[in-house]
Structure 1
């Protein structure tokens, strides 16, 4: 192993001289920030002026640092930002600075945010987020997600952009890391580094981990109203690494074959999603089956694929953790942790991860559900970003096919939104809320009124003080009142119409009164029967007209009395017959005339 002064070079923005250093450590890990530290002997003087030391502390805080590692033609670069400086005092005099720093990814970890992405794939979402960081933070060709499905609804909630990208990478099995100079998302980089054990590689170790890979998940698909399930004992397309194969082969030694009893997940809502979760979980478990570690004297980049030659056996590996070291100025080595390069999902895959959300108010933006499921879209109170949801379901007192309680809030109204299992990806409307700008108008000291009122003003009012139940129209006109004393009143500004396919039966314990401002018309296609137990009285202010198409029969058990103030005219198209069992009397204060066109007979 050779040590050359140019194996490690440090460049600090604003400092033009060669950076003399010791105890350099650059720690790199996938889906995480990189960290570095070193001691910097920034001044050539033996005795350093404290004033100059103070100037250095002020000047280089926040400066960019670039590390260049070059060994036998293998070159690797990494950069970061100084975020900590500590002055060193030795024997009462300044003696350099302890420097600590972090990768540029920290720019995405600066502030928690909440926003929503609708109808977008990761290929569009991720570059947009990375573009919010430094201009040279990423390259488009380095953003190549393997999960290409378009998200109907994806929320970043109370997370920094870095935390959000990390969660999405965990959930959907995407490689996410800072390679030292640029951010990678989705797929991996390749390198041509080959390490030979005991030559360019020392302390080589292989760690095999036997853990259960099995999983069984169940979920609910609300669009199709069905339960969905998926399960697997192990991955079907895992690594071909021999040690990984052993772990897969011996799964039966530590796990039972039973898969029918699984766990619930809120991260899937259809068959495709739950099958994808099972596939990713088993692949992620497979990626944790074997770890390779060691110390290399050639630079290895995080996320790089490299080859280790161990005797006659070669291992193609993927670096998941790297620590670059330079104990003294110039010399270099790195410690690595790696997994087989042909794994099909990252070792940190976690299909159950989600952002936890609490119940919160929102405002309805749309209630015209294209599927007719009574759903609404809402806008959350998360600031000025994209915060409008997809169509979300709403709790009703009762629901079912062709039945239930169908009350949908109006656009602009406030609702309370909950989340299934606390998962930000699964919002639902719990109910509506009044606020200081939108009050019911029915508040009373004793809470006497219970009211249902629609947008147009139609309302049903139940008054616990009077016992009345009132139905009113949109113009404030009372249609019906069920009084607390037992009375019911119907009132219409225009017409009231009753229609029955068969009978209408009306019963009154006492009187039935009918009043009309003008006419009363009755019509029966067949018969009309009127039964009166007492007196039937009819009073007509003008004429009474009776038209009978057939016979007119009158049966009277008592007397028939008629009093006519004027003439009584009787006309018939045939005979007139009058019968009496006792006598027949005709009286007149003047004369009686009997006239016939032919003859007159009286017997």
Structure 2
């Protein structure tokens, strides 16, 4: 396979169960936030003009489900995305044809528009996530299997959207919280498969960087109820460091001698936490 075949991909778009004829599509995906898309519907010559459609009919697509399938013609491998339409724009363009632009993203977007307050006591991370998401009544797949299973005595949602609250809570408990294009996953990725990719074959560009930082960090917490003080430091050596990372690590250690002592961003529950 050469680089000219990287774009040899068939893209099918389904809106509310019907195939969408489009002229342009953009899909942005990230592990640390919402996925977003833009679809430009085909209203070019040979098609009905956008002006023959009523705005009510066009805007009726708001909140509808959208599916995007990208299938590589060379290998047959396909990647699917499931999302929701949150915005629709009607644009005067191409003479009297016009353009309809569908915008939206992952269903997680709907969990990020409601800053609110809530309190949970004596709950696990999994139960807090389930209760918060169930309150939205959203229809999307959830894989709720966090590694952190300890009961949390108390946690508050304070002027946060549901998405921001759960994202923060999962991070503080050391668990992943991300949308994989088809479902929301809480917990570490289950796929441990290693795949080899080659520059200018499977990928068009790559960037490798290194920097220095203070790795001498200690965290502490105080349990006022039990009058107990906890402190901890990261394990040495750091697991998973390869030869490239070891250069930056050794340079950092030679420059930063002092220790950064910071409060835990979440209350430590016990000594094994």
Same structural fold, with TM-score higher than 0.5 when normalized by the shorter chain = yes
Cα distance, 1:112 vs. partner? 2.8
Change (3 A) 1:189 1:69: farther
Contact 2:27 2:35 in 1 (8 A): yes
Q: Quick one: which of 10, 14, 36 aligns to 1:11?
A: 14
The answer to whether the aligner puts 1:95 opposite 2:94 as a matched pair is no
If asked which structure has higher relative contact order (CA below 8 Å, sep 6+), I would say 2
Which residue of structure 2 aligns with residue 169 of structure 1?
170
Q: Which residue of 2 aligns with 1:281?
A: none
Cα distance in 1, alignment partners of residues 57 and 9 from structure 2: 25
TM-score of the superposed pair, with normalisation by structure 2: 0.82
8 A Cα contact 2:146 2:188, kept in partner: yes
**Residue 109 (str. 1) matches residue 112 (str. 2):** yes
Question: Aligned partners of 2:130 and 2:221: how far apart in 1?
Answer: 31
1:508-547 equivalences in 2 (<5 Å) = none
**C-alpha distance in 2, partners of 1:120/1:104?**
25
What corresponds to 2:210 in structure 1?
Answer: 208
2:123 aligns to what?
120
Equivalence for 2:89: 86
Q: 1:107-506 alignment to 2 at 5 Å?
A: 107-134=110-137, 136-139=139-142, 142-190=143-191, 194-232=196-234, 236-256=237-257, 258-259=258-259, 262-264=261-263, 267-268=266-267, 272=271
Q: Cα distance, 1:215 vs. partner?
A: 1.3
Aligned residue for 2:38?
Answer: 37
TM-superposed deviation, 1:168: 0.5
Instruction: Please give the alpha-carbon distance, in whole angstroms, between the structure 2 residues aligned to 1:270 and 1:120.
Output: 12
Offset at 1:192? Answer: 6.6
Rounded to whole Å, the distance in 1 between the matches of 2:137 and 2:194 is 29
Distance 1:189 1:271, change over 3 A: closer
The offset of 1:2, in angstroms, is 2.9
Structure holding more strand per residue:
2
Q: Is the 8 A contact 1:53 1:94 kept in 2?
A: no
Mapped partners of 1:4, 1:263: distance in 2: 48
- Paired with 1:6 and 1:58, the residues of 2 have a C-alpha distance of 30
1:501-557 CA distance string (max 9 Å, x none): xxxxxxxxxxxxxxxxxxxxxxxxxxxxxxxxxxxxxxxxxxxxxxxxxxxxxxxxx
- The whole-number CA distance in structure 2 between the counterparts of 1:247 and 1:27 is 31
- 1:368 maps to none
Native 8 Å contact 1:147 1:172 kept in 2: yes
Counterparts of 2:246 and 2:161, CA distance in 1: 38
Q: How many residues align?
A: 267
- Contact kept, 8 Å, 2:50 with 2:100, in 1: the verdict is no
- Secondary structure of the residue aligned to 1:202 is coil
* Partner-residue secondary structure (3-state), 2:5: coil
Local SS of the residue matching 2:141 = coil
Which sections of structure 1, spanning at least 5 residues, go unmatched?
277-603
- 2:44–2:97 Cα contact (<8 Å) kept: no
Distance 2:213 2:65 in 1: 43
Asked if structure 1 preserves the Cα contact closer than 8 Å seen for 2:43 and 2:50, the reply is no
Checking the alignment, whether the CA contact within 8 Å between 2:38 and 2:104 is kept in structure 1 is yes
Task: Please report the TM-score for the alignment, with normalisation by the length of structure 1.
Answer: 0.40
Structure 2: segments with no counterpart, 5+ residues:
none
Task: Tell whether the 8 Å contact from 2:13 to 2:19 is kept in structure 1 after alignment.
Answer: no
Say if 1:47 and 1:180 are closer, same or farther in 2 by CA, change over 3 A.
closer
* Counterpart secondary structure, 2:29: strand
CA apart distance, 1:227: 4.1
Residue 135 (structure 1) shift: 5.4
Match of 1:51 in 2: 52
Higher helix share: 2
Q: Give 3-state SS (helix, strand or coil) of 2:153's partner.
A: coil
| C-alpha contact 2:27 2:38 (8 A) present in aligned 1 | yes
The alpha-carbon distance between structure 1 residues 47 and 11, as it changes in their structure 2 partners (threshold 3 A), is closer
